[in-house]
């Protein structure tokens, strides 16, 4: 029989971090509960149709965030770096789509209409194709020029390079296309603001065509991406490289090529997101990619960075929160960007692995 | 002939051609021609197009550069010239294709300015050097010729034991440095460093009252950025915490001084000095608030979170929620600055104030770096787990670094607001953080001369060279990428030896030695 071991004396160390974390969490939770109580129970000034409208708006914007967030997640999963210039890739896709739409407006067809109004379906599809192509080309060259030579450098160096690339792309767009804010030239069938009228709870709600297009397209692309990653050979190779680069290389996978293709795929998704953003929000200028980029990163962290379904879920979640929270908490709508950043901080403090993410080791975080 | 070499040089030519087209599309060539013409003594009005010949100089310079850089890889003289020719030709073809489009646009009178703002007819004619459609041939010939000239120039540098001109220049510099050092008298050699500092000090105290308010403004800004840069360097360079939200601390300093010394919105007139102290305190408090919850985060995650914090501070300042308290998007006007013997500070006194603050910051920085705290920071930066195992209280020291860095940033922000008599949310955008970050990275982390150099190149030079103003941020971005690719340690790296690297090298050497012995 073994003698019962005496447990070693435990060294008591007060962990200030945990105490502060708890206090912080209680404060945030108390604030949220208090605001929700005031708005929903005490004031009760919003009818159900307002909530449904906000829900729809949140889902639409969430689809865009999801697509951009997938780009962050794909790159982070493979390279463990934040592709800071991803928002700018989206902006470039948006501009490519815009230029194509403008060009179609200037082509006259036999029926007397311009091309854009005569064949709206072809125009919209081509706008997506062109936006995605240009954005993925940008992503490809971005990786080749700014990231690939830094593959073996310490982790901060590629990030600084990415920040530099982001500033460069922003200002190149400003200098090339002028700082002016432009209206996105939708084909007139899907002009902003028109849509299907729906009656919900006794109130008329319009589901705009652009919103439906955005949401449908984002869902389609997400399904396509999921199929690509799970079912194809390329997806298998990508997953292998994400797990272990060295072993993947030993199995005959060209790691550099896979990383390049990852950037192409994430660029294509960002380009599609950019064209959607243009169709739905209707303006484009050089700085337009910055905030969606940061927010999509938040979404990726929210879902668990490196995790594709997590990024999809995180994007939707962030879109919904951003749309509903200002009203639900009774905060000024100007502060909706603050909400996204606060969510980012809260998530990183309490659950750095995100909603669905695998538990990252402390080293990675 | 080696096919690979030709492929490399033609690739280089195509890349350069695309870069040139990009430069033309952003009007960079006009700026370059303007600067060349100013250098040669012909003044050009702002916004006017300079004479065509200056553009020719610029293009020829470009062509010579491509020929030179394409030729510097091979060994034989004949191959080099051929390489220059190939590179020049491929660049010429790319540019000629672009010219073809331009000529088409000219002849059909298509106005592209709706899409690409700089593609007006004047600019197209200018780029075609006034030759119209013949400009295509002129460009083609010019690039081929200048490419060959560049490669021939390269051959002149070739000699025994010297592979290319880069090496020749490096050898020449090293030799001349040795020669100069030999000739100097011993006294200067011994005290040269101190003599240099003495001259610098005297100059710094003479100049502000002499060189006029414009230079005081520019160099004051540089000085403020140096102070903020030292603050960021304490966080990033000494303790290894990646921060991109320094603007938050800067804003704290600026708004404290502004709110306590302006007629609107509170009408408090506490005087500049107590307000500056409160500003520094406010920055430290924000640093604690930022540092405590993020104590566990590392690397790029910390960077993104601090970016979020910085943006939250700016968005709050900008929103209407706090506008009664902070002046909202319009900012705060008519800030009362400090007074000296009853007179308000003017640009010269501000310059002296900034210089003194700079000197104090540099002194504090050096003392901190050499202190026990500095060594603890170094340990944390090099290896967190080892530092913890050796008994360094990581969370305490990291927080300390944040607070001290924030204090410097708050100081810079306070003086900034008082000097400008105005501060608003747009003074504290993400770009401010990026400016400070890039001046450290470009100059060289952990090196005070590097920070001075970085602040001067990134803040001072663009102010002095007004033409470059539009391209400043573009160059910033490109510079960050290029520095990371080519010289991640910065322009003027720290003299502190890279301990880890040296140890590794020593181990490798020992290994090699022992292997040789065993072979023998």
B163 and B228 fall within a common domain: no
Q: What is the mean pLDDT of residues A320-327?
A: 88
Nearest to A348 among B301, B321, B477 (CB): B301
The reply to whether A19 falls in a domain is: no
Q: Among A182, A163, A175, A171, which Cα is nearest to A86's? A: A163
Domain that holds residue A160: 71-289
Residue-wise burial string across B160-171, b where 16 or more C-beta atoms lie within 10 A, e elsewhere: eeeebbeebeee
B226 and B164 fall within a common domain: no
Q: Among A318, A84, A307, A345, which Cα is nearest to B296's? A: A345
* Tokens (6 digits) for B465: 């060279």
Chain A residues near residue B120 by CB distance under 8 angstroms: none
Q: Do A156 and B242 touch (CB under 8 A)?
A: yes
Chain A residues near residue B242 by CB distance under 8 angstroms: 156, 159
The reply to whether A3 falls in a domain is: no
Chain B residues near residue A99 by CB distance under 8 angstroms: 115
Q: What is the ipTM of this complex?
A: 0.85
Nearest to A150 among B294, B438, B485 (CB): B485
The reply to whether A237 falls in a domain is: yes
Least confident segment among A332-336, B412-416, B427-431: A332-336
- Between the two ends of chain B, the Cα-to-Cα distance in Å is 42
Domain that holds residue B69: 3-174
B262 and B368 fall within a common domain: yes
The reply to whether B494 falls in a domain is: no
State how far residue B387 is from chain A, nearest Cα, in angstroms. Answer: 15
Nearest to B300 among A153, A159, A294 (CB): A159
Q: Do A160 and B319 touch (CB under 8 A)?
A: no
Q: Do A362 and B296 touch (CB under 8 A)?
A: yes
Q: Do A17 and B395 touch (CB under 8 A)?
A: yes
State how far residue B291 is from chain A, nearest Cα, in angstroms. Answer: 10
B148 and B67 fall within a common domain: yes
Q: What is the mean pLDDT of chain B?
A: 83
Residue-wise burial string across B177-191, b where 16 or more C-beta atoms lie within 10 A, e elsewhere: eeeeeeeeeeeeeee
The reply to whether A189 falls in a domain is: yes
User: Please, which residues have CB within 8 angstroms of residue B261's CB and are 6 or more apart in sequence?
Assistant: B268, B269, B270, B271, B272, B275, B335, B336, B337, B418
User: Please, which residues have CB within 8 angstroms of residue B491's CB and are 6 or more apart in sequence?
Assistant: B442, B443, B444, B450, B453, B454, B457
Which DSSP helix (H) or strand (E) runs through A213?
helix A209-231
Residue that is last in its domain, among B413, B429, B445:
B429
Distances (CA, A) of B69 to B63, B80, B147, B249, B391: 10, 10, 9, 45, 53
The reply to whether A147 falls in a domain is: yes
Highest mean pLDDT among A126-140, B36-50, B202-216: A126-140
**pLDDT single digits (tens) B143-199:** 888 888 888 887 776 666 666 667 777 888 888 888 887 777 777 777 777 888 788
The reply to whether B183 falls in a domain is: no
The reply to whether A257 falls in a domain is: yes
State how far residue B478 is from chain A, nearest Cα, in angstroms. Answer: 6
Residue that is last in its domain, among B429, B460, B475:
B429
State how far residue A179 is from chain B, nearest Cα, in angstroms. Answer: 9
Q: Do B299 and A81 touch (CB under 8 A)?
A: no
Chain A residues near residue B326 by CB distance under 8 angstroms: none
Report the pLDDT value the prediction gives residue A15, as an integer from 0 to 100: 65
Q: Which of B477, B483, B486 to mutate to test the interface with A (most CBs of A within 10 A)?
A: B477
Least confident segment among A14-18, A208-212, B458-462, B469-473: A14-18
B277 and B357 fall within a common domain: yes
The reply to whether A54 falls in a domain is: no
Q: Among B468, B472, B422, B464, which Cα is nearest to B442's? A: B472
**B434, closest residue in chain A (CA to CA):** A163
The reply to whether A207 falls in a domain is: yes
B384 and B242 fall within a common domain: yes
The reply to whether B324 falls in a domain is: yes
Report the pLDDT value the prediction gives residue A1, as an integer from 0 to 100: 47
Decide if B292 touches A, using CB distance below 8 A: yes
Predicted model pTM: 0.87
The reply to whether B511 falls in a domain is: no
**pLDDT single digits (tens) A127-181:** 999 999 999 999 999 999 999 999 888 877 888 899 899 999 999 999 998 888 8
Residue that is last in its domain, among B429, B459, B486:
B429
Q: Do B476 and A149 touch (CB under 8 A)?
A: no
User: Where is pLDDT greater, at B132 or B406?
Assistant: B406
Q: Give B 316-355 residues with CB within 8 A of chain A.
A: 316, 318-321
Least confident segment among A130-139, A175-184, B263-272, B346-355: B263-272
* Residue B444 backbone class (left: φ over 0; alpha: ψ -120 to 50; beta: rest): left
B279 and B408 fall within a common domain: yes
Least confident segment among A51-55, A295-299, B318-322: B318-322
Nearest to B293 among A20, A150, A168 (CB): A20
Nearest to A156 among B118, B299, B474 (CB): B299
Q: How many domains does chain A have?
A: 1
């Amino acid at each position: 029989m073994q003698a019962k071991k005496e447990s070693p004396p435990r060294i008591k160390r007060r962990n200030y971090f945990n105490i502060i974390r708890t206090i912080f969490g209680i404060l945030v939770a108390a604030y949220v509960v208090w605001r929700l109580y005031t708005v929903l129970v005490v004031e009760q000034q919003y009818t159900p149709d307002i909530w449904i409208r906000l829900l729809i708006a949140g889902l639409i914007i969430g689809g865009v965030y999801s697509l951009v967030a997938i780009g962050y997640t794909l790159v982070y999963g493979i390279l463990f770096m934040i592709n800071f210039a991803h928002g700018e890739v989206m902006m470039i896709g948006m501009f490519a789509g815009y230029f194509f739409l403008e060009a179609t407006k200037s082509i006259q067809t036999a029926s007397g209409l311009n091309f854009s109004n005569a064949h709206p379906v072809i125009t919209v599809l081509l706008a997506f194709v062109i936006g995605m192509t240009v954005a993925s080309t940008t992503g490809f060259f971005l990786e080749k020029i700014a990231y690939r030579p830094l593959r073996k450098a310490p982790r901060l160096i590629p990030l600084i390079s990415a920040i530099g690339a982001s500033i460069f792309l922003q200002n190149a767009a400003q200098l090339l296309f002028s700082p002016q804010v432009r209206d996105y030239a939708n084909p007139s069938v899907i002009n902003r603001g028109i849509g299907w009228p729906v009656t919900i709870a006794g109130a008329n709600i319009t589901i705009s065509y652009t919103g439906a297009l955005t949401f449908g397209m984002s869902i389609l692309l997400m399904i396509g991406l999921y199929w690509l990653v799970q079912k194809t050979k390329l997806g298998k190779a990508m997953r292998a490289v994400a797990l272990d680069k060295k072993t993947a290389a030993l199995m005959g996978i060209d790691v550099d090529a896979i990383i390049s293709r990852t950037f192409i795929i994430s660029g294509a998704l960002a380009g599609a997101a950019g064209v959607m953003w243009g169709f739905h929000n209707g303006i484009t200028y050089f700085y337009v990619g910055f905030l969606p980029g940061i927010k999509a990163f938040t979404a990726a962290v929210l879902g668990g960075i490196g995790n594709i379904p997590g990024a999809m879920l995180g994007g939707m979640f962030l879109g919904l929160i951003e749309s509903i929270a200002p009203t639900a908490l009774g905060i000024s709508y100007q502060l909706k960007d603050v909400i996204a950043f606060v969510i980012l901080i809260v998530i990183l403090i309490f659950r750095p692995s995100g909603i669905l993410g695998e538990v990252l080791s402390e080293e990675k975080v | 002939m080696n096919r690979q070499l030709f492929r490399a040089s033609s690739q280089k030519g195509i890349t350069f051609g695309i870069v040139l087209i990009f430069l033309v599309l952003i009007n960079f060539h006009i700026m370059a021609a303007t600067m060349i013409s100013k250098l040669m003594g012909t003044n050009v009005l702002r916004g006017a197009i300079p004479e065509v010949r200056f553009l020719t100089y610029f293009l020829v310079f470009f062509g010579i550069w491509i020929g030179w850089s394409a030729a510097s890889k091979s060994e034989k003289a004949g191959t080099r010239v051929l390489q220059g020719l190939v590179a020049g030709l491929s660049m010429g073809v790319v540019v000629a294709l672009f010219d073809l489009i331009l000529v088409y646009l000219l002849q059909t009178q298509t106005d592209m300015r709706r899409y690409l703002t700089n593609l007006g007819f004047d600019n197209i004619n200018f780029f075609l050097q006034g030759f119209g459609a013949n400009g295509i041939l002129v460009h083609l010939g010019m690039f081929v010729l200048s490419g060959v000239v560049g490669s021939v120039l390269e051959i002149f540098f070739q000699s025994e034991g010297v592979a290319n001109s880069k090496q020749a220049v490096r050898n020449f510099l090293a030799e001349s440095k040795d020669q100069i050092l030999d000739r100097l008298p011993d006294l200067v050699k011994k005290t040269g460093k101190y003599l240099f500092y003495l001259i610098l000090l005297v100059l710094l105290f003479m100049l502000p009252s002499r060189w006029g308010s414009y230079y005081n403004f520019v160099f004051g800004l540089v000085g403020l950025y140096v102070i903020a840069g030292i603050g960021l360097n304490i966080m990033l360079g000494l303790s290894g915490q990646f921060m991109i939200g320094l603007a938050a601390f800067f804003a704290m300093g600026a708004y404290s001084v502004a709110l306590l010394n302006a007629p609107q919105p509170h009408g408090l007139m506490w005087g500049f000095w107590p307000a500056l102290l409160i500003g520094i305190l406010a920055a430290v408090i924000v640093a604690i608030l930022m540092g405590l919850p993020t104590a566990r985060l590392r690397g790029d995650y910390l960077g993104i979170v601090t970016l979020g914090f910085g943006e939250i501070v700016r968005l709050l300042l900008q929103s209407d929620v706090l506008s009664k308290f902070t002046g909202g998007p319009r900012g705060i006007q008519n800030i009362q600055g400090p007074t000296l013997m009853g007179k308000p500070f003017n640009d010269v006194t501000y310059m002296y104030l900034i210089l003194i603050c700079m000197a104090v910051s540099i002194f504090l920085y050096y003392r901190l770096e050499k202190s026990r705290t500095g060594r603890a920071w170094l340990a944390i930066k090099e290896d967190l787990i080892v530092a913890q195992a050796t008994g360094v209280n990581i969370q305490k020291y990291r927080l300390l670094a944040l607070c001290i860095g924030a204090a410097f940033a708050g100081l810079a922000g306070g003086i900034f607001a008082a000097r400008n008599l105005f501060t608003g949310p747009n003074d504290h955008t993400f770009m401010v953080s990026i400016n400070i970050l890039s001046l450290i990275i470009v100059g060289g982390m952990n090196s005070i001369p590097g920070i001075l150099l970085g602040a001067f190149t990134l803040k001072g030079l663009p102010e002095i060279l007004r033409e470059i103003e539009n391209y400043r941020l573009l160059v910033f971005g490109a510079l960050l990428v290029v520095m990371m690719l080519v010289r991640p340690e910065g322009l003027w790296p720290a003299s502190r030896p890279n301990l880890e690297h040296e140890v590794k090298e020593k181990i490798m050497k020992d290994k090699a030695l022992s292997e040789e012995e065993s072979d023998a």
